[in-house]
Amino acid sequence: MGIFKRLKRIVTADLHDWIDKCEDPIRMTKQYLRELNEQIDNTQQALAQQFAIQQRYEMLIHRTEEIVKKRERQAKLAIEKEEEAIAKMALQEKISYEKKLETYKQQYNTLIEKTTYLNEQLKKLKEKYEELKIKHFDFIARAHAAKAITDVNTSLVSFNPEQILKGFERIEEHVRSLEAKAKASTYVYETQKTLSLPPVFHEEVEQELAKLKTAK
């Protein structure tokens, strides 16, 4: 029937060469699934045509069977009326349609076999598609995990503890400088604040002032 021609091309030995030459295996699996999905669509269309033809044969067989029965009734009726010529004509048509009916049934049975085979192949294609789709997602997950591990290992290899330590020491020195500047600015602020305040006369000063006033 030629309906599996593309699928056969994919699953042959050429597929191995295709995989070896493919630079992006994940992209290749997408293409593989895309072609397999197209094949499923084509098979479904072919199966739909088979069912349509099958229905036409069923109708044809049914009509032919009705004609055979009708001609038989006509022949019996003609015999009852002693119309032998008409009976022979009816029987001749009955035999002709019986032969056609046998041919139709044989063709119908062959069609059923092909339809059954095609339906089985469609089921296999769908099962294979679902199986490969799961593998495709598994490949993606494993590829991402492998890349992440590679990136982490690369970072660890390029990691230089001494250089990082020196960098932190420079940062600490800078922070200490900032803290010293902040402390100095606080001291200056407090000193200026004290000088700007009015003088505070303590009790001793008041006593000395009283003595001077008394001596005078």
Q: What confidence tens digit (pLDDT) does each residue in 108-136 have?
A: 999 999 999 999 999 999 999 999 889 88
Query: Span 143-162, mean pLDDT?
Result: 77
- Assigned fold of 5-159: Helix Hairpins (1.10.287)
Q: What confidence tens digit (pLDDT) does each residue in 34-88 have?
A: 888 999 999 999 999 999 999 999 999 999 999 999 999 999 999 998 899 999 9
Q: Please provide the average confidence, as pLDDT, over all residues in the chain.
A: 82
Burial of 4 (0-12, 13-18, 19+ CB in 10 A): middle
pLDDT of residue 32: 84
Rounded to an integer, what distance in angstroms lies between the CA atom of residue 74 and that of residue 87?
7
Cβ atoms within 10 Å, residue 75: 21
Cβ atoms within 10 Å, residue 171: 10
Taking the alpha carbons of 58, 59, 63, 64 in that order, is the dihedral positive or negative?
A: negative
pLDDT of residue 16: 54
pLDDT of residue 51: 92
Record the pTM: 0.54
- Write the CA distances from 127 to 36, 90, 170, 179, integer angstroms: 11, 54, 63, 71
Residues in contact with 75: Cβ distance below 8 Å, sequence separation at least 6, in sequence order: 87, 90, 91, 94
pLDDT of residue 195: 59
